[in-house]
Structure 1
Amino acid sequence: MKKAYRAALLRFDDAGAPQFDQDGLLVTGADAQGRVRVLDAGSHAAVAPRHPDAEITHWPGRILAPGFVDMHIHFPQLDIIGAPADGLLPWLENYTFPEESRFADAAHAQAAASFFFDELLRQGVTTALTFCTSHPASVEAFFGEAQRRQLRMIGGKVLQDRHSPDGVRDQTEQSLIDTEALIRRWHGTDRLGYAITPRFAPTSTDAQLRGAGELAAKYADTWIHSHVAENKDEVQWARELFPRARSYLDVYTGFGLMRERAVYAHCIHFDDADRQLMHETRTAAAVSPTSNLFLGSGFFDFEGAQRTHMLHGLASDVGGGTSFSPFHTMLAAYYIGREGQTKPGLSLKPSRLWWLHTAGAAQALGLAGTLGNLQPGCEADFLVLNPVATPLLARKTARSESLEELLFALIVLGDDRLIERTVIGQQGAAAA
C-alpha cells in the first residue's frame, strides 16, 4: 500500500545540490521484493495528483529529511566516550582494548548492541558502517539486533593478530576462518552488509592482511573497513613496520585492500599522491572531526579531498568521537573546514555538510541511489525534523531567509530534540 507524507521536504540531486519544497510530498511503497522505497517526491501540488489513492500523513511545520549515514563508528566503544587520554595510542591501551575485551561475552555484546541501536535511531542515524570487536559474539549481536529492527547496517569482526593485548588479540588462521563464516551468514541477508575489518595495519601481520585481501577479492561486493594516517605517532609506527611501502596508505594497496567499497577512517596525514591513490581506486575516507579534535590527531584536508576528487563523507567515530549526534559532527567539520586546511578559510556550505552525512556518505559507500536520499528508488528511511524544537531554535529558524541559513541554524543549534521521528521504511513505523 502506498503511503504519503506531507511536510517540507529536503533531498539532493545527482550533483549533490539540495532540493527543498516548502510544501512537499513524499510517497513510499513496496517494490516487487517487498522493500519499501520512495516512489515519488516533490512539491505537494505536483506530486499529489499522481497518487490519488495514497494515504497521506500531514506533519505541518516539520521537515522530512534523509536518514543520516555514519561512515565510521565503533559500537563496542559507546561506554568510553569522553575517556581522557594523551593521544590515540594511550587511549587504545588504557580504555579501548580493556573495554572491547568484554565483548567475548555474548550477553554483554547483546545488551550493548540494543543500546547502540536505540541511540543511533534517537539521533537520526539510519545506516552506519560499524566496527565490532575481534570476538565473533560481538558481530552476531550487532547483526542480530540490526536484523530484528529491519535496519540497513554494515559491520564486521575486527582482525588484530599482533601488537594487541590478551583479550582482543586473535589468531591469524582462525580470524580468517571466522570472517568468512560471518560473511556467508550475514552479508546480503535482509538489509545487512559485511565489512572485512583489519583494525589498522600495525595490529595485523602480513599473513592476516594478505588473507583479508584474498577474502576481499573473493567476496567483491563486501566492504573493507579500517583506519589510516590518523595520528603522527601511528604513522611513524607504520613506517617502521612496513618500510617498503611508499606511505602508510600504500601498505593497504600491497595487500589488495583498496577498491570500491573500501573505507578508511581519518586520512589526515596524507599527501596528494595518497589522495590520488584513493581517487583512482574509488576508496573512500570517513572523516571523523569530533574524534580528531578530541584526541588531538590533526585536521582532515577538505580542500585537498575536493581538489583531487577523493570520495569522503562524515562519521562520528564513537567512542573516540564525542557524540552520536550528526549535528555535532557537521559543526565540528565546519570548524575544521575553516581552520585546519592547507589553504585556511575554506567554508563548507551547510548543504554540503548535510550532503556529506547523507547522500554523499552513501555515494562514498557505493550505495548512491539506495540510501541517504529521498529521491525515487531510494529506501524509505527518513527523519521528521522539528525546526522549533527549542525556544532558541524556533527564534533562529523563524529568521532564516534561505535554505542555507535554515540548515546552518539546525546544524549549529540542533541535537536529538530536533529529531521528532526516525522512520524506518521497512517497519512502516517510527522509532522515537
Structure 2
Amino acid sequence: MSDTITAVRAALLHFTADPASAGDQAYQYYPDGLLIIKNGYIDNAGPAEQMLPLLPESVSINHYPNCLITPGFIDTHIHYPQTGMIASYGEQLLDWLEKYTFPAEKAFADPSHAEEVAEVFLNELLRNGTTTALVFGTVHPESVDAFFSQAQRRCLRMIAGKVMMDRQAPEYLLDTPESSYQQSKTLIERWHQQDRLLYAVTPRFAITSSKEQLAKAGQLLQEFPDVYLHTHLSENTDEIELIKQLFPDAKDYLDVYDTHQLLGSRSVFAHGVHLCDHQCQRLAETGSALSFCPSSNLFLGSGLFDLAKMEKYGVKVGMGTDVGGGTSFSLLQTLGDGYKVNQLKGQQLSPLKSFYLATLGGAKALNLDSKIGNFTKGKEADFVVLDYQATPLIKYRLQHTTDIAEKLFVLTTLGDDRAVAATYIMGQLAYQR
C-alpha cells in the first residue's frame, strides 16, 4: 500500500521543553514553515524553503497565509455532561453542584441524550482547536459508551471515565462501591486502548466517595496499571473543610487519595488551588499531575492557582477549561485567564509558557508526550491552524507586534474560537471555520 503524504504550510511553532527551564531553547519557530504528514503521523517539520525540495511533486500543499500552526490543544480537565449548563449563575462550588450540576447529569441515563450532548461537546472541542481531552462522564455507564462511540468515529485521542459516587449526592446519581467497580471494569475492557481511546477511573472527589469506593478505585488501578485516575483536589475552602470532617484521620486532602493508592504517573487532579508544600512535594514524587483551571476557579470564586509553586516542586501541570464551571471551551481564553490569575498572585505567565502548557505540557501531564504534544517525527498529527486575521482587532493589533511571543500573547488575550481557522486530526481536516 502506498504512503499517504500531505503537507501544510504556514508559520510553525512547537515546543521541545518547558520554557520556564529551557528558555529560548524550549521551542522551534519558523515564520514560513512546512509540516509534512505521512499516513497520519508527523514526518517532518521545518522552514518551508528547506522542506519543499523534500516533497514529491504529486503532493498538494494546504497553504494558510497569515496563520500559525501549533500542535492541537490539550484540555486536561473538562466535564462533557455539563455542556448544557455552562454559564449557570451565581454559586460557589458545593451549592453550584447541588443546584445545577447534579440535575443536569440525571438525564445521562438516557443513551440518546448522552449521544446528542457528546456530539455537541466534541464539535465544540474541534471548533476551539482542542484535539485531546481528559473528560468526566456521569455515574451512568451509558454516558461513557456514548462519548467513546462519538470520539472513536472521529478518530480522536480522548480519555474518559464513568463517575464513581456513592454518597453526598442525590439518590438518583448514586452507585455503590461494588457497582462502580464492576461498571468501570466492564467499560475499561470495552474501550481502553481501542483505537485512540483511553480510560480514566473517575471518583468525582473524596466528598462523594466513601473509603470503600476509593479502595475499589485503587483496586482498578492495580488490575489495569495503564489506565488513568481523574478526580478533583483542593478546589474550594469549604470543600477542604468538609474533607476534614469526612476523613478525620487523613493528614490532608491529598492524603485521602494517597492512602488509597490513587497517586501515580497517570493520575490527574483538577484544580489544586489550596495545596501546602508537603502536598506539592508528594505530587511531584509520585509523578502525579495537576490541571490548572483558571476560568473555572475565577467563575466559582475558588481561589488562585500557584503555578510558580508547582514549578518549584516540579509538579506536572496542564491546562483545563473545566466546562461547565469554566465558561469557555477555548483554551486560548483559558490561557488569557491563566495570565490574569498569575498577575493576581504577583507572578508572570509568559505567552511561550502558556502555549507550552496547552500543548506539550498538557501531553506530559497526561503521560502522552510520546504520542502527541509537538511536531517530533512519528507523533500523531493532531494540530490547529490559528488565524492572525481572525477579527479586525486581532489583525490590527498583530500589525504592531515584533516577535512570536508578542503574537502569542495577543492570541491568548484577544482570541477565542474565531481564531481557529482549522483543526486537523491524524493529518485529516476535521474542522474548518
TM-score range, shorter-chain basis? Answer: over 0.9
Is there any run of 5+ residues in structure 2 with no aligned partner, and where?
20-25
Cα distance per residue 1:147-193 (max 9 Å; x no partner):
01111110000000111102211122111100000000000000000
**Aligned with residue 282 of structure 1, among 278, 287, 292:** 287
- Corresponding residue for residue 117 of structure 2: 112
- Secondary structure in 2 aligned to 1:293? helix
Aligned: 1:270 with 2:279: no
1: CA distance, partners of 2:432 / 2:150 = 14
- Corresponding residue for residue 43 of structure 1: 47
- Corresponding residue for residue 3 of structure 1: 6
1: CA distance, partners of 2:427 / 2:414 = 30
**Aligned-pair CA distance for 1:4:** 1.1
**Aligned-pair CA distance for 1:428:** 5.3
1: CA distance, partners of 2:35 / 2:257 = 42
- Corresponding residue for residue 421 of structure 2: 420
Indicate the larger mover: 308-317 or 6-15. Answer: 6-15
- Corresponding residue for residue 22 of structure 2: none
Answer whether contact 1:5 1:26 (CA < 8 A) is retained. Answer: yes
Answer whether contact 1:369 1:375 (CA < 8 A) is retained. Answer: no
> What do you get for the CA RMSD once the two structures are aligned?
1.2
Answer whether contact 2:126 2:430 (CA < 8 A) is retained. Answer: no
Answer whether contact 1:11 1:375 (CA < 8 A) is retained. Answer: no
- Corresponding residue for residue 78 of structure 2: 73
Indicate the larger mover: 368-377 or 301-310. Answer: 368-377
Q: Please, what TM-score do these two structures have when normalized by structure 1? A: 0.96
1: CA distance, partners of 2:187 / 2:152 = 14
Cα distance per residue 1:108-166 (max 9 Å; x no partner):
11110010011111111111000000000100010000001111110000000111102
- Secondary structure in 2 aligned to 1:167? helix
Query: Equivalent residues in 2 for 1:23-422 (5 A)?
Result: 23-30=32-39, 36-53=40-57, 54-340=59-345, 344=346, 346-422=347-423
Answer whether contact 1:106 1:138 (CA < 8 A) is retained. Answer: yes
2: CA distance, partners of 1:300 / 1:93 = 24
Q: Please, what TM-score do these two structures have when normalized by structure 2? A: 0.95
C-alpha change, 1:431 and 1:154, in structure 2 (3 Å) is farther
Tell me the amino acid that sits aligned with residue 418 of structure 1. Answer: A
- Secondary structure in 1 aligned to 2:421? strand
Residue correspondences, number: 423
Same amino acid, percent of matched pairs: 45
Tell me the amino acid that sits aligned with residue 21 of structure 1. Answer: Y
**Aligned-pair CA distance for 1:426:** 5.7
2: CA distance, partners of 1:168 / 1:66 = 37
Answer whether contact 1:331 1:412 (CA < 8 A) is retained. Answer: yes
Tell me the amino acid that sits aligned with residue 150 of structure 2. Answer: E
Cα distance per residue 1:338-360 (max 9 Å; x no partner):
113xxx2x111101011111110
Is there any run of 5+ residues in structure 1 with no aligned partner, and where?
31-35
Answer whether contact 1:150 1:426 (CA < 8 A) is retained. Answer: no
- Corresponding residue for residue 16 of structure 2: 13
- Secondary structure in 2 aligned to 1:65? strand
2: CA distance, partners of 1:351 / 1:232 = 31
**Aligned-pair CA distance for 1:429:** 5.0
Tell me the amino acid that sits aligned with residue 238 of structure 1. Answer: I
C-alpha change, 1:185 and 1:427, in structure 2 (3 Å) is farther
1: CA distance, partners of 2:430 / 2:158 = 18
2: CA distance, partners of 1:152 / 1:115 = 17
Tell me the amino acid that sits aligned with residue 74 of structure 1. Answer: H
C-alpha change, 1:255 and 1:185, in structure 2 (3 Å) is same
**Aligned-pair CA distance for 1:399:** 1.2
- Corresponding residue for residue 22 of structure 1: 31
- Corresponding residue for residue 33 of structure 1: none
1: CA distance, partners of 2:5 / 2:209 = 49
Indicate the larger mover: 10-19 or 182-191. Answer: 10-19
